[in-house]
Structure 1
Amino acid sequence: MNLLTPEPGLLIWSSVSFLILLFLLTKYAWKPIIHALRVREETIAYSLREAERARQEMVNIEKTQKQILDQARVERDEMIKEAKEIRDKLVMEARDVAKLEAQKILSAAKSQLEQDKRAAIEDLKKQVALLSVDIASRLLQQELSDPEKQKGLIKNYLNEATFN
């Protein structure tokens, strides 16, 4: 048996065995293997499509999230601006009310002061009048206590008085 020169019977039997094995593998093994490979290929392709769709969806979600955050920032800024405007308006209104109240209080105080001043002046006039009457009555008492002085005073009044 020479390894380099095959015998024709061995060659025929080896070829027949190969063809039978090839037929059996084609019929029973390759179809399921090819089918399994196709299924795996489709699964991988589906997974890749789903991964791309999920990635795209994540990009869309990130964009939406960014838009929502931007909108929330804008709304927050608007709310802060409105709150500041309301605060400023309330402060101005409070100042105006305080000024009006201060003016009312000052006006009332001035009015009260003027009334107190008038009352004091009236009271002073009354006291001056009473003092004047008291002084006059004391002077008259002194003048009228002496009969000579009384006669002189009567003559003075009569001379000053003009009769019609």
Structure 2
Amino acid sequence: MDGLLQISPGLIIWTLVNFGLYLFLLARFGYKPLRTALERREQTIAESLRSAELARAEAQRLLADAEEQRKRAHAEMVELLRQAREQAEHLVARAAEEGEKVKQEKLREAQREIERMAADARMKLQREVADLALRAAQKLLAEQLDSERHRRLIEQTIEQLEHTN
């Protein structure tokens, strides 16, 4: 067992020669491909980082654009609602004006009708008074009354007129 833990100078030299040979072969044939692979990996990582940064910047820009569009749409909606409210108020005011005009026209028509009816009633009353006066005059002439009788006949006619109206 002691042989395993013993240091042998020949073994050390051969181990160093083997190590040097492996180091030389690795440096001569393995270093370039290893370095190239590491550089490619580094470039791939750098490109991925640049792509990720560009994608993040694009996402930020798209998000900002979307937010701006949302704000514009909201502003347009508010403006449309304001215009709709304004139009509704205008329509209500116009309808009220039209209603007032119609009401005033109906009142004028009713007033004209009342005035026409009053004029008709006055004309009828004048005709009746003229007719009664004519009848009274006919009676007077027909009977050739004295003044006392004439006065009584006029009073009777006036009383008849009062009772008829």
Gaps of 5+ in 1: 154-164
Give the number of aligned pairs.
145
After TM superposition, list the pairs within 5 Å mapping 1:1-164 onto structure 2: 3-8=5-10, 10-138=11-139, 140-141=141-142, 143=143
- The unaligned stretches of length 5 or more in structure 2 are 148-165
**One-letter code of the match for 2:85?**
K
Q: Bigger relative contact order, structure 1 or 2, given CA contacts below 8 A and separation 6+? A: 2
Deviation at 1:112, TM superposition (A): 1.8
The alpha carbon displacement at 1:136 in A equals 4.2
Whole-angstrom CA distance in 2 between matches of 1:130 and 1:28: 150
Moved more, 16-25 or 127-136: 127-136
TM-aligned CA deviation for residue 118 of structure 1: 0.2
Take 2:66 and 2:34, find their aligned partners in 1: how far apart are those partners? Answer: 46
Distance in 1 (alpha carbons) for counterparts of 2:106 and 2:93: 20
- Length-normalised TM-score, structure 2: 0.73
Aligned-pair CA distance for 1:97: 1.8
Spell out structure 1 runs of 4+ moving beyond 6 A: none
SS at match of 1:5: coil
Q: Which moved more, 1:33-42 or 1:17-26?
A: 17-26
TM-score (normalizing by structure 1): 0.73
Give the superposition deviation at 1:108: 1.7
Note the C-alpha offset of 1:2. 7.0
Secondary structure of the equivalent of 2:70? helix
